[in-house]
Structure 1
Amino acid sequence: MSGRLLRLSWRGLKRDLRSGDVRALFVALALAVAASTMIGFFLDRLDRGLTRQAGQLLGGDVVLEQSRPFEAELRETLEAAGLTLSDQVDMVSMVSRGDAFQSVSLKAVDDVYPHYGASRVSRGGKVEEVAAGPPRGEVWIAPRLAMLMDLQSGDSLRVGSATFRVGAVIEREADPSAGFGSFNPRLMMHVDDLPATGLVQEGSRIEYELLAAGPAQAVEEVAPLLERLRGEGVEVRDVRQDRPRLGSALARADRYLSLAGLAAVLLAGVAVAMATRRYVERHLDTAALLRCFGASQRELVWIFVLQLLWLALAASLLGAVLGLAGQAALLALLGAVMPIELPPPGILPLGMGIFTALAVLMGFAGPTLLRLRRVSALKVLRRELDPLPASAWWVVTVAAGVFGGLLWLYSSDGVLALGLLVGGLAALLALWGLGGVLLALLARLCAHLPRQAAPHDGLWRALRLGGQQLARRRTASLGQLLAFATALFAMGMIALVRGDLLDTWRAQLPEDTPNHFAINIQPAERDAFEAALAGTADARSALYPMVRGRITAIDGQPPLEAVPEQARGDNVLRRELNLTWRADLPTGNRLVAGDWFAPSASTAEGWLGAVAADPVAPISLESGLAERLGLTLGDTMTFSIGSETLQGRVASLRDLDWDSFRPNFYVIFPPGVLEDFGHSYITAFHLDGGERELLRNLVRDFPAVTLLDVESILSRVREVLDQVTRAVELVLVFVLLAGVSVLYAALVASMPVRAHEAGLLRVFGAGNRLLSRIQGAEFALLGLASGLLAALLVELAAAGIYVAWLDLAPRWHPALWGWLPLGGVLLVGGIGQWLSRGLRRQAPAASLGLLGET
């Protein structure tokens, strides 16, 4: 490649920067780079930050738990991978003060605790944040234990064989989920004090936890080891798998951001394709002249390719700056609620952004650009010797292949990329047919508008003429219609998904979400406890009975032999489950297979009457558990309850709302089966912060009932969701800008034809006002038709994406059919009128000459 070609390409680009199509190309490429780099930086930094913050609920990035101490070899392996380790020991024990005794949930922590966050403790009435655990010789206690035993800071408390000083009252633990499953008030102490208590004995029921924290690469490095540990019976937890309230939100946010980035890239690609077509048509004569001066086909291609590469380089630099500024602005907005320091941005998202711009340029502009290669030198004398444009199918095929590759690159899911690509091509075919029908209907409707003189005759005439022009340029109008519909579809899709995600998150955690659980309510206390809550708690769930049972057989086989190999380390096979009974389907549950218990089996009398015929009780099973264990309708499960066994046959499968902070159960029996077994009740309710007196009364009147305060967990979840919501808001702006760039590029490409038509109308006596009305009517009709097509496409695509990708229930959006067509009228009409204002001021001769503009 010679310096002469570089100079020619650079000079040509400087001259072309005054043209609207080149500006449209530049804007589209810059937006593609800005969207991809900003989202790349955002996902790279914020996702790690949010995941780490969410990890505070677990106490680390990975938590290992088993009933014996962890081996030194395992510790060395984890530390070698770059993880920092913290030891914890959990157990239930009795504490005493004088003649008073109380069962507590004891947590012993080391000097590394906590990995993230800080505990909020009260010392002598003063509340402070402490990023450490209790020192040796001191214990921290939960407020409920302080109320039960009338303790305060400085008092002495006996734990096992040792006496400790009460150093603080725990207002909030750094890792609040650690106490969520405990039925007793928390007591925290230093792990080095544990031997002095004498509580660790042979056969003691103790849980040893190893909390690991470190970079994502370190966690990925030990992933095979973690899978092996799961298979060996070690419980392995991480935030995405074991914190569904946060894991689902983060997963949906990641998918939404990826979807938004792909939408922005697709829109930029469409804008590039539209602008390139105009760019090529404008340079056909230039290419013919260069051929006359001796340029070969190869040199001709290189000149224009280099021009676009110069343009792509400048757009990439601007887009990269915009992407960096966008993610910095976003993180600045989130700084007030971001409690952790995010890692600095890496270089990979920047490289991905530049690669995206080049891929979009090659895939969406390449086939059209090759038209310049076939220009004949005779075109200088004979203007009709334009080379034939590339086949529309060839252009679509190349663009689809490039965009499919970007889909796979950004989603890391080949099946998803292929599905979206095939679905998109099918939608394009459907849009082509529907668009032709819709344009024909609009043209016929406009032709039948009133013709008699009337106050609004100018409007009717403008609509009739606008409809006639669309019908006259049917192929060109249909191409513009598809471009506008694609732009409106992408903008509408991202805006719609954003709204539904935010609605889902808001509905997930409303203001009256239960923030307290009451457990271990005895049957004799049920009515009195329910009466104590009546009229005081803002919202509460029903009281559910609980019976503890362990799975001992599945279809007559031991569980570990009956389930798939990957499920043999599942925690439900190693612990007791909470079983309940219910006559009707609980709130937040949805049947996905089978039938709920028949009315005759929903009463104790009905079930007892059926025992003689079939002693196996019907049960309802949570669908996720059924999937993990490979269970289907009709399979049997045997439960060990105390010294007795009970069989159940899977009669239905349910989806649960795990995000509701309400009691949920894997297994539900019909009434009349479990009542004779020992059971207690559980409920959840919401209390405002000022209702501490009710808690004191409940602790005093029902000392055996365990009250769990989950407000700290709830507040952490809300913090993360608020951050994700702000991220979604900013990403939408980039998609909207990319959509506007498509409208701009499509309208710029059609300007010569519209100028020619305007010149003809001016020759036949049309004034500026009538021209403005006709053009406005044409743009408005195009916008209306595009909005209607886009609304249909959004509804169909949203249903598929919700089910297959975002794990949301599909829904109908009636308002979409109003605001999207209206938005199309305003956007297309407004941008079209703005771009056409110069044409209306030109003389007819100048406007007629633009049809062959070079």
Structure 2
Amino acid sequence: MSHGARGGGGLLRLSLKGLRRDLRASDVRALFVALALAVAASTMIGFFLDRLDRGLTRQAGQLVGGDIKLEQGKPFDSDLRRQLEEAGLTLADQVDLVSMASRDASFQPASLKVVDGAYPLYGKVRVDLGGGIEEVAHGPSPGSIWIAPRLAQLLDVGIGESVQVGQSRFPVSGLIEREPDQSAGFGSFNPRLMMHLDDLEATGLVRPGSRVEYELLAKGPPQAVARVEDLLARLERQGVEIEDVREDRPQLGNALERAEKYLSLAGLAAVLLAGVAVAMATRRYVDRHLDTAALLRCFGASQRQLTQLFALQLLWLALSASIIGALLGLAGQAGLLALLTRFLPLELPPPGILPLLLGILTALAVLVGFAGPTLLRLKQVSALKVLRRELDPLPASAWLVVGVASLVFGGLLWLYSGDFMLSLGLLLGGLAALVVLWTLGWLLLGAVLRLAGRFGNGAGGAAQALRLGARQLARRRQASLGQLLAFAVTFAAMAIITLVRGDLLTTWQAQLPEDTPNYFAINIQPDERDGFTDILNAGDASRSALYPMVRGRIVAINDQSPEDVVPPESRGDNALRRELNLTWKEEVPTGNRVVKGSWFASDAAASPADGTVPISMEDGLAERFGVDLGDTLTFSIGGADITGEITSLRNLDWDSFRPNFYIVFPPEVLERFGHSYITAFHVEDGSDVPGKLVSAYPGVSLINVEAILGRVRELLSQVTRAVEFVLAFVLLAGVSVLYAALTASHTLRTHESGLLRVFGAGGRLISRIQGVEFALLGFTSGLMGALLAELAAAGVYIGWLDLAPRIHWPMWLVLPLGGALLIGLIGHALSRGVRRQTPMASLGLLGEA
């Protein structure tokens, strides 16, 4: 090696020259494709989630409606307002509730947002006031309402026409296109109706026991917010729900939050498959360069210089693949955003630079983790290999390769998830599953090969191709097994997404009884109870019992502050931060099952000497709070405190679509407080019962469960499409595994093809043999994928949806046949160059690895 080559500049030039020459080699192209796919998958999701994160941070004030938002079930007093205003904050009042809006014979549930003259504190409302869409910094004026276009369409109402809300009618003066503080969640499933605070009393919707949220919004500089920190802490201890944009950044709905995690895991699956492809292609890359390394050793190159040379060469490869992958990821995130944009409550900023840097880091990590141990062979090559070809350095141990790759992939899991224990659990579980799947795959592959050999004993051309193809697959069983596992995981992932999209939700709905309630009725007043029931009975509506409902907040557990008693992970539980719906019942409610303790005695209504009454608690909430039989809970209800002792724990059927309560009191304890009634009922399509109820009792809120389920189904469909979009990269990464496997075994396949030609095999027979080989691999991968998908689906059914698992017979047919067709076609197409090689050229590769 010359003196110039020994310097840094010489190594740099030599590495670039070597890379230009190597780009003609199939194994380097396989490395490039695998790295580019890994970067594309990670940066696509990274770009999207980064834009989402920065958009939420930038517009947090708009999403909340202010720098601070206080929520409770009753109006805020004037003393609190004075303290906030003296601290330098601007205030705005807002009331949220759900009610029915009607016009003529049309009735629709609507989310009411009642605002004052200070609305909005941040941003502007885009609204059509009759002259086209414009941006205004105020809400509707007293005496009129604004509604969402969807509500206008459902009620067939236009600007200037009137809508009935509660006991009053209001003209529609505007159509809302977008609110600056638009929220996500179940409230947004109903179309919006916005009205002025001065008109709320005339509707008659706010009555004792009504489900109403009073919100006090505050806007001000950070110094003003800091001045009220002690006040906010005191209010939170008193049960007021506090949302501070500096600490409690508003998030999207639960479905989209799950999608974020799901997308990240799908991207990591693509990275994992790409890593497998890198490991396979690296083996061929190293085998090709052993002679080059030996020659360089003859010219005086040291082990350190060899390491630097090939590291630089692969560094340029990783950087160029990162650029291509980042461009693909940038285009992909635009497609991902287009699929989810309808459900994003904010405009997202342009992509940042951080995901690109993470993508490059991912490419380098994959290269180091999956290729590093194999590349060490180049450092260990002896100069004598030039004369004695058998002096190849020993290949890296399979366990070393798997161990290093696992550590690197675990680090990537930690980087992308931010949860060390989750990453560790997934990593250890994945390694354990790898051992089990490897054993099952070995047995399954052996069974398929034996079966193929038995059916290939005939004399026909197809039988001969089947027998020879199976033999070639068996000869490379170790490499075939690695491909089998990679493709099985890919097929299983695609199958699970299909199940999530259709079968899981469909099965859940199919297991619900035909008379499952499709309407909820809330805010039924005591004097309306009998008349409301009469209308339901006259309309042949099947209904649950009418449950009285009082709202109360837990203020003490065992005479201590709840935050001091419950486990640390439950201190932020929503049941502690808001008022709970409480009821009383003489008998165990329908759909409830006492799992511990005993139900109230017949004389439980009598007030005990110490003022403590028996209560029944939902077992899941008791577990979260760390309480059991004999513990006491103190509730603040209507300005009075009531203490109850837990005498029974109940298991609830939350999927029954009937009213359920965390806490149930015995009769004659809560009747003295203002209360309303709630029920659920089922009516057939086209029934006039809902219309009669709204006409007779406009203050009662009817919630159409079918409409909510339709909205959930639509959201799930959009999120599933986004996940399928990402899993297309997973499939491409799986194809890259096949491509890398072909390059790794290129020399051996070429030699086998040459031998077959020498013994008289024509191009057609060789083509059939290779087609059979890949088809068998795809068929076996499909079987393993179906098994993995069934196991994963059973886990989802049992652990998440609480449904009885079942076998999906069509999948056992589609995945094996689809796998055989897909991998057979791709593998056959990529092997075309091997079949075209002349016998002399093929046999000339006999001495190569």
Give the TM-score normalised by the residue count of structure 1: 0.76
Work out whether 1:395 is the aligned partner of 2:429.
no
- Report if aligned partners of 2:114, 2:196 keep a CA contact under 8 Å in 1: yes
Return closer, same or farther for 1:352/1:385 CA change in 2, 3 Å cut-off: same
- Report if aligned partners of 1:320, 1:350 keep a CA contact under 8 Å in 2: yes
- The equivalent position to 1:825 in structure 2, one of 820, 823, 830, is 820
Residue of structure 2 in register with 1:665 after alignment: 661
The two structures, once aligned, show a CA RMSD in angstroms of: 5.3
1-structure distance, mates of 2:176, 2:143: 13
- What are the superposed Cα offsets for residues 251-310 of structure 1, whole Å, 9 maximum, x if unpaired? 210110110111011011111000000111111112222222332222222222222111
1-structure distance, mates of 2:194, 2:346: 27
Residue of structure 2 in register with 1:160 after alignment: none
Return closer, same or farther for 1:119/1:283 CA change in 2, 3 Å cut-off: closer
Work out whether 1:752 is the aligned partner of 2:755.
no
Residue of structure 1 in register with 2:254 after alignment: 248
Residue of structure 2 in register with 1:21 after alignment: 27
1-structure distance, mates of 2:225, 2:773: 58
1-structure distance, mates of 2:845, 2:390: 16
Residue of structure 2 in register with 1:520 after alignment: 524
Work out whether 1:468 is the aligned partner of 2:475.
no
- Measured after TM superposition, the shift of residue 704 of structure 1 is 5.9
Task: Note the residue ranges of structure 2 that are not aligned, 5 or more in a row.
Answer: 1-6, 98-111, 148-154, 156-161, 207-211, 511-515
Counterparts of residues 193-272 of structure 1 (less than 5 Å) = 207=214, 209-210=216-217, 230-231=236-237, 233-237=239-243, 247-272=253-278
- Report if aligned partners of 2:142, 2:199 keep a CA contact under 8 Å in 1: no
- Measured after TM superposition, the shift of residue 820 of structure 1 is 3.0
Residue of structure 2 in register with 1:742 after alignment: 737
Residue of structure 2 in register with 1:113 after alignment: 120
1-structure distance, mates of 2:231, 2:287: 60
- Amino acid aligned to 1:209: L
Work out whether 1:631 is the aligned partner of 2:627.
yes
- Report if aligned partners of 2:71, 2:216 keep a CA contact under 8 Å in 1: yes
2-structure distance, mates of 1:274, 1:140: 65
2-structure distance, mates of 1:503, 1:50: 33
- The equivalent position to 1:731 in structure 2, one of 726, 734, 747, is 726
2-structure distance, mates of 1:244, 1:626: 28
- Report if aligned partners of 1:551, 1:559 keep a CA contact under 8 Å in 2: no
Work out whether 1:343 is the aligned partner of 2:355.
no
Residue of structure 1 in register with 2:618 after alignment: 621
- What are the superposed Cα offsets for residues 669-722 of structure 1, whole Å, 9 maximum, x if unpaired? 79999999997532357999999x876643442356445689998898677656
Residue of structure 2 in register with 1:530 after alignment: 536
- The equivalent position to 2:196 in structure 1, one of 176, 189, 194, is 189
- Report if aligned partners of 2:547, 2:677 keep a CA contact under 8 Å in 1: yes
Work out whether 1:656 is the aligned partner of 2:644.
no
Counterparts of residues 505-584 of structure 1 (less than 5 Å) = 517-520=521-524, 522=526, 523-531=529-537, 534=540, 542-548=544-550, 550=552, 557=559, 560=562, 563-564=565-566, 572=575, 575=579, 577-579=581-583, 581=585
- The equivalent position to 1:769 in structure 2, one of 764, 773, 788, is 764
| SS state at 1:595 partner | strand
- Measured after TM superposition, the shift of residue 465 of structure 1 is 2.4
- Report if aligned partners of 1:60, 1:116 keep a CA contact under 8 Å in 2: no
- Report if aligned partners of 1:616, 1:649 keep a CA contact under 8 Å in 2: no
- What are the superposed Cα offsets for residues 600-659 of structure 1, whole Å, 9 maximum, x if unpaired? x7xxxx9649999x9986735162x324432246656577889998755233234735xx
Residue of structure 2 in register with 1:39 after alignment: 45
| SS state at 1:766 partner | coil
Residue of structure 1 in register with 2:158 after alignment: none
- Measured after TM superposition, the shift of residue 481 of structure 1 is 1.7
- What are the superposed Cα offsets for residues 541-567 of structure 1, whole Å, 9 maximum, x if unpaired? 635412326477988646748842766
> Which segment is superposed worse, 126-135 or 64-73?
126-135
- Amino acid aligned to 2:618: L
- Amino acid aligned to 1:756: H
> Which segment is superposed worse, 283-292 or 346-355?
283-292
- Report if aligned partners of 2:536, 2:689 keep a CA contact under 8 Å in 1: no
- Measured after TM superposition, the shift of residue 72 of structure 1 is 8.1
Residue of structure 2 in register with 1:852 after alignment: 847
2-structure distance, mates of 1:228, 1:318: 54
Residue of structure 2 in register with 1:158 after alignment: none
2-structure distance, mates of 1:78, 1:363: 55
Residue of structure 1 in register with 2:293 after alignment: 287
- Measured after TM superposition, the shift of residue 498 of structure 1 is 6.1
Residue of structure 1 in register with 2:377 after alignment: 371
- Amino acid aligned to 2:582: N
2-structure distance, mates of 1:578, 1:758: 78
Query: Percent same amino acid at aligned positions?
Result: 53
1-structure distance, mates of 2:425, 2:314: 32
Residue of structure 2 in register with 1:298 after alignment: 304
Counterparts of residues 780-819 of structure 1 (less than 5 Å) = 780-796=775-791, 811=805, 814=808, 815-819=810-814
Counterparts of residues 411-430 of structure 1 (less than 5 Å) = 411-430=417-436
- Measured after TM superposition, the shift of residue 780 of structure 1 is 2.2
Residue of structure 1 in register with 2:477 after alignment: 477
1-structure distance, mates of 2:185, 2:256: 21
- Report if aligned partners of 2:114, 2:200 keep a CA contact under 8 Å in 1: no
Residue of structure 1 in register with 2:71 after alignment: 65
2-structure distance, mates of 1:532, 1:120: 43
| SS state at 2:648 partner | strand
2-structure distance, mates of 1:224, 1:499: 50
> Which segment is superposed worse, 316-325 or 114-123?
114-123
- Measured after TM superposition, the shift of residue 358 of structure 1 is 0.6
Return closer, same or farther for 1:570/1:736 CA change in 2, 3 Å cut-off: closer
Work out whether 1:88 is the aligned partner of 2:90.
no
- What are the superposed Cα offsets for residues 703-753 of structure 1, whole Å, 9 maximum, x if unpaired? 564456899988986776565344223212211111111111112211221
- What are the superposed Cα offsets for residues 369-405 of structure 1, whole Å, 9 maximum, x if unpaired? 1101111222222221111101111111111111010
- Report if aligned partners of 1:758, 1:840 keep a CA contact under 8 Å in 2: yes
- Measured after TM superposition, the shift of residue 233 of structure 1 is 3.4
2-structure distance, mates of 1:276, 1:304: 12
Work out whether 1:313 is the aligned partner of 2:319.
yes
- Measured after TM superposition, the shift of residue 113 of structure 1 is 1.6
Counterparts of residues 670-749 of structure 1 (less than 5 Å) = 680-684=676-680, 697-702=692-697, 705-707=700-702, 721=716, 723-749=718-744
Return closer, same or farther for 1:188/1:137 CA change in 2, 3 Å cut-off: closer
- Measured after TM superposition, the shift of residue 484 of structure 1 is 3.2
- Report if aligned partners of 2:469, 2:773 keep a CA contact under 8 Å in 1: yes
- Report if aligned partners of 1:469, 1:778 keep a CA contact under 8 Å in 2: yes
Counterparts of residues 576-615 of structure 1 (less than 5 Å) = 577-579=581-583, 581=585, 595=595, 608=602
2-structure distance, mates of 1:770, 1:846: 19
- Report if aligned partners of 2:139, 2:196 keep a CA contact under 8 Å in 1: yes
2-structure distance, mates of 1:136, 1:838: 76
| SS state at 1:448 partner | helix
| SS state at 1:577 partner | strand
Residue of structure 1 in register with 2:493 after alignment: 493
